[in-house]
Structure 1
Amino acid sequence: MKLQRSLCLASALALAVGSAPARAQSPADIASAEAALNFVQRLAATYVVLIARAAVDLTYDSLTIDTGGQETVINGLVLRPDLDWDTEGACAIAIDRVAATSSPSLEVLESVIELSGVSVPAACFDPGTGAMLSSFGYPTLGVDRAAITIAYDVPSSGAHMLVSADIPDAADITVSADFDYVWFTGLLEGDDPEPVAKLASAELVLENAGLWERVSPMLGQQFGDLNQIPAMVGPMLGQMLAEPGQAPGADAQAFIDNLSSELARFIENGDRLVLSIEPEGGLWLSDDIFDTPQSTLAALQPRLSGAPIGISRMLSPSELSAAMSGGGGLDEATRLKAGAALITGIGAPKAQADGIALLAPMANAWNAEAAKLVADALAASGQTAEAYDMALKAAAGGAAGATGAADALEARLGAAEVLAAQAGALESWPALAGWINAKEAAQSTGDIAELRRLAFAASAGRGMPRSYREAYYLAALAAAGGDSGAAALRDRIDTRFTDVTGTREAAWVEAGNAAASAALGAWTGGIANQVMTRYGVQ
């Protein structure tokens, strides 16, 4: 336990110093800061190596750190684990190169470890496994490339995990899992925190690259006709998944039929097997799911196929051709799918400029999903003001994550840019007439609660484009009628454009004064009388 804690602390230290930005201004200061940061990173990496040696003997040729690229590289790494059966010390795992990178983002904590040129002698496995590998022609198990990716989204507590390995003359293996939620209860209370996780999807892809050709002759000697294997596996699995004396249930039989069919296809083609889990609505993982094979199967609903999950997102050649030529002939759903593929690089090669061009008409027509995709792509290319305009449209339509995106982009803009974008979005909003009618109705009836509600809607930008000027105007009216929540909102908007010295940005001074004057004129022009009448004030 102490060793685990030490390793965790050392890893956290390395990650922290690896993602610390150098906040310097002049070239000389930047160079000095980078040199200092590089030293701290090397120091942290050295301590990680020293602590790791408590678990396994290791040596390496060189260690280099790229401060700007957030990458630490170890060349010529050799690990010599202490194994009970390896009395002669024949197990020496050699790795040509290990590269560890970390993301500088504080909202998405991502770490990637890539290994290349891995060599694992059969002596590193227990005698039975080692002998089996040697009989298959693998006295040394080599891995051209392996990668481990762990990404944790702090705002949502979602996580993505990916492990892949390319084993020459054997197989390419990929294991991935996506979680809607991951955390640990009791993390700060004791030594045994309990994981809490909601699984969104998981996938195991085994791509044959020579392993089946080496294994199949031995299976042929054991079973005779290889085509009989699926028929033999079905009844054996049925006994495992059925209650004593009963036939397999519907879920079990469906999985058995699926397994038999896919094994037959693989035996004929020798290409790939894909095990996928996509529980509808996600699945909260708990111990009772794994009590019996039947409960596990019912909860996870695994499926075998010959294609990864991501293939379903792939654009057809005709869809991609239409998308690249401007989207003519594509219906709205297909255009959105094509734009998402081009922007994210999933389903088509990443081409964000083409994706933006394809989705811009939909985004400008206030399609929230299209606007969110375009906002993300524009933000990634550094077009902050344009991205903010799209984020306002996406947030108004309720697109997931759009409000947060708008907040993040807004923080990078000045008051003049923010107010101009908000005014443009509000003016082009298709439902503007309805909003004006609602505002006028609240004013004409002196409904303070409705004025406050409309003010908060305008401030948040939910259900309508965000407009601080409109929010301030409405909040000022409701506050004048004694609503403390509206008064707090009015003051928060003022604070939003005030720096640490108490100075307000000039653009907001002008806009805020105009909103205040409009509110005062409307109040004295009749709203005050309506409020007094509505609430019985003499």
Structure 2
Amino acid sequence: MKKFTPLSTTAALALLAATPTVAQDRDPQVTFGEFFSPDRIATAIAHTGISALRTQMELQYDHMTVDPMRGIVSLSGIVARPQLPYDQAGQCEVLIDRVTLSSDFTSPFQTAAEIDMNLIGAHATLACFERDMAVALRTAGYRDMPIDQFKMRASYTYATGATAVDSTIAINGFGILDYSASGTILPRLGQYGIPAEPAVRVTRAVATLKDDGGWAAISQVLPENLRDPVMIREMGTQAISSVLSQDGLRPLGAVERRFVADLMTQVEAYVTDPGEITIEATLPDNGITLEPEMYADPLDLIAGLGLQVRAAPMARSQILSLDALAAIQTPDSLSPDARIALATALLDGNGVPRSTSMVAGLLEPLLDTPETAGAAAALLARAEQESDVPNAYRHALIAASAAEPGAIGLLDKLESRMTTQSVLAAQDRHLTSVGAVAPLEMVTGDDPRDLRALSLAYLTGTGQARSYARAYYYALLAEAAGDIAAESLRNEIIARFGARGPDVAQAWHALAAQVEEQAVTDWINADLPGRYLVAE
């Protein structure tokens, strides 16, 4: 047997190491796509922001999570030491269990721009406050400021231009402050037609304070006479009236006097038996527009917003009673209007926990009655738009035929989540199920503009169940009858099916051929040329 020499063995090992198979046997390498992944880019941006914060304060944290697809950044185990002009010794320190910053996490960049900050479990040393405040807090028994939660949410709705701000601050052993406001900034022209300071349409404004031991702590540092509820009411009434009246230079109206009286009545009750106090605007459904002159003047602001002071927000007084809720199990005992009202409350969460699944049992029986079918169908479409798009579209068609407000928007929204073939099939099934008359029977009069109006109604779903087939039919007749605007309308209908792939194009061409054949047949058999022809 031939023996391998050391040289031949070494050569064999070198050759084996040089083979392609072994050369590729290594740890996976980061790809170009992974290196520039959204997670890495978002993390780099977050680190840049934190580095910028460190120019203003010392900042440390245990862990950071970045989820760019949901727009969430969270930090946990935070230690911050801000630089404050009154903290010369540098003793201010803020400890935070967790902070979350999120944006557009429900429907990114589609319906609203939103930013939400949620801070949980914070402790700030008294050195973080100015000296007078720190002394008062220490006298009241606080060694630091414990904040259970601080949450701030701001949103801008693209469809309406409404801006909303909501905030909560909960201080352990002190109180919970909640406030919420929403409105729309409106452009405004000045005296000479030049853009001026904008007006604001306010649709919601409420603030509420719930005591959690705060008054008991504060009262310890107050003189004896300032702890008496009656004295507080009298002194507060005088002080607030003086401020609002500009030290008596401007008399208070009945609205302002009632506001001051209600406010101090609630303050007296609050300090007598600490509970809750709320200031809320009483506004119509569409809100109220405040001109710059109004929101710059406290008296006009109180009157314009209809500010009321009460023990709890108005939403607490709108909670449905047990008798009203019992009707959910026995809907047959309710009138149609009561069914619709209860279904609306369930959809909006007004006075009852929000529930979309319980709406169908309340409203389905109302679809058989023409007087209530439209309103019931609109609510059913809203309830099903996230869970059952085809059924929601069926109900939206019923709502559109009844000219229910918002039905057109529902149809557009639902169609964006359906295939064109399923949309056309749903429209055809609806016309069949309701026993719609033949399209020719709706042709009356001798004005081709009436044909165009029918086409528009079916195209948009304005007073008619949306049907692209019927819209195309009436557009063809209107164009043949000499309506000068019908051609552009016909092109608009055709464009609805463009750039959607070969399957959609094939489905539309097949449907269009049927509609065109029917239009020509009806044009001849019904002698429509004789109806629309105008002799010269």
Q: Does 2:174 align with 1:157? A: no
Do structure 1's residue 198 and structure 2's residue 211 form an aligned pair? no
Q: Please, which of 379, 383, 387 is the counterpart of residue 377 of structure 1?
A: 383
Q: What letter matches 1:516 in structure 2?
A: E
Q: Which residue of 2 aligns with 1:62?
A: 63
Which whole-Å CA distance do the structure 1 matches of 2:144 and 2:364 have between them? 54
* 2:214 is the counterpart of 1:211: yes
1:363–1:390 contact (8 Å) kept in structure 2:
no
What letter is aligned with 1:153?
Answer: T
Change beyond 3 A, Cα 1:359–1:230: farther
Q: Is the 8 A contact 2:175 2:214 kept in 1?
A: yes
State yes or no: 1:166 paired with 2:170.
yes
Alpha-carbon contact 1:91-1:121 (below 8 Å) kept: yes
* Contact 1:415 1:505 (C-alpha < 8 Å) held by counterparts: no
Q: Secondary structure at the match of 2:488?
A: helix
Q: Which structure is larger by alpha-carbon Rg, 1 or 2?
A: 2
Q: Equivalent residues in 2 for 1:382-401 (5 A)?
A: 383-401=388-406
Which shows bigger deviation, 488-497 or 506-515?
A: 506-515
The C-alpha deviation readout for 1:148-196, integer Å capped at 9, x for no partner, is: 12222112112222111221111111111122x24799xxxxxxx9766
Q: 1:377 to 1:249 in 2, by over 3 A?
A: same
Are the structure 2 counterparts of residues 415 and 84 from structure 1 closer, same or farther at C-alpha, using a change threshold of 3 Å?
closer
CA 1:445/1:195 → structure 2, altered by over 3 Å: closer, same or farther? closer
Instruction: Quote the residue 1:51 is aligned against.
Output: 52
1:260 aligns with 2:264: yes
SS at match of 1:353: coil
Name the CA shift for 1:146/1:374 in 2 (closer, same or farther; >3 Å): farther
Once the two structures are overlaid, the 10-residue window that deviates more, 335-344 or 139-148, is 335-344
What's the CA shift string for 1:414-448, capped at 9, x where partnerless?
Answer: 23321232234445669x67x97xx746x343210
Report the counterpart of residue 229 of structure 2 in structure 1: 226
1:42 CA displacement: 0.9
Question: Is 444-453 or 257-266 further displaced after alignment?
Answer: 257-266
Distance 1:492 1:95 in 2: 57
How far off its partner does 1:398 sit?
A: 4.5
| Corresponding position of 2:424 | 419
Q: Which moved more, 1:353-362 or 1:516-525?
A: 353-362
Asked if 1:123 is matched to 2:121, the reply is no
Deviation of 1:221 after TM superposition, in Å, equals 1.0
Structure 1 match to 2:319: 314
Question: Which of 507, 518, 537 is matched with 2:535 structurally?
Answer: 537
Contact 1:145-1:166 within 8 A present in 2 as well: yes
Partner of 2:331, secondary structure, is coil
Partner SS state of residue 445, structure 1 = coil
Give the equivalent residue in structure 2 for 1:272. 276
Q: Which amino acid aligns with 1:209?
A: D
Instruction: Give the superposition deviation at 1:302.
Output: 1.2
**Cα distance change of structure 1 residues 68 and 293 upon mapping to structure 2, 3 Å threshold:** closer
SS at match of 2:241: helix
Structure 1: which amino acid aligns with 2:182? D
**Which deviates more, 137-146 or 355-364?**
355-364
CA displacement at 1:497 relative to structure 2: 2.4
Match of 1:96 in 2: 97
For structure 2, the residue ranges without an aligned partner over 5 or more in a row are 1-32, 189-195
Amino acid at match of 1:445: G
Per-residue CA distance 1:192-231 (angstroms, 9 max, x = gap): x976642111111111111122234555713353234324
Q: Mean Cα displacement is larger for which, 369-378 or 138-147?
A: 369-378
Moved more, 84-93 or 517-526: 517-526
* AA partner of residue 531 (structure 1): Y
Q: Which runs of 5+ in 1 are unaligned?
A: 1-31, 186-192
Contact map agreement 1:91 1:123 (CA 8 A) in 2: yes
Contact 2:139–2:221 (CA under 8 A) maintained in structure 1: no
Q: Among 294, 298, 303, which residue is 1:298 paired with?
A: 303
Structure 1 partner of 2:464: 464
Q: Give the distance between the partners of 1:273 and 1:237, measured in 2 at CA.
A: 17
Native 8 Å contact 1:419 1:467 kept in 2 = yes
**One-letter amino acid of the counterpart of residue 385, structure 2:** A
CA RMSD of aligned residues (A): 3.1
List per-residue Cα deviations over 1:85-133 (Å, max 9, x = no partner): 1101111222111112222242222222211111122221221222222
Does the CA-based 8 Å contact 1:446-1:528 persist in structure 2?
no
1:234, distance to aligned residue in structure 2 (A): 2.6
3-state SS of 1:374 partner: helix
What's the CA shift for 1:501?
Answer: 5.5
Whether contact under 8 Å (2:229, 2:272) holds in the other structure is no
The amino acid of 1:293's aligned partner reads P
Deviation at 1:397, TM superposition (A): 4.1
Distance 1:49 1:349, change over 3 A: same
Maintained 8 Å contact 1:176/1:202: yes
1:372-420 deviation digits (Å, cap 9, x = unpaired): 3332331222x11111122233344444443222112112222332123
Aligned residue identity for 2:226: F
Matched length: 492
SS of the equivalent of 2:327 reads helix
Aligned to 1:488: 488
Q: CA separation of 1:236/1:102 partners in 2, compared to 1, >3 Å: closer, same or farther?
A: closer
1:467 counterpart letter in structure 2? S
Q: Which amino acid aligns with 1:359?
A: L
Please report the TM-score for the alignment, with normalisation by the length of structure 2. 0.82
Q: Structure 1 residues 537, 259: CA separation in 2 closer, same or farther (over 3 Å shift)?
A: same
- Letter paired with 1:462: T
Moved more, 463-472 or 417-426: 417-426
Query: Which of 136, 150, 169 lines up with 2:140 in the alignment?
Result: 136
TM-score for both structures, normalised by structure 1: 0.82
Task: Please tell me the residue identity of whatever aligns with 2:393.
Answer: Y
- The code of the aligned residue for 2:364 comes to A
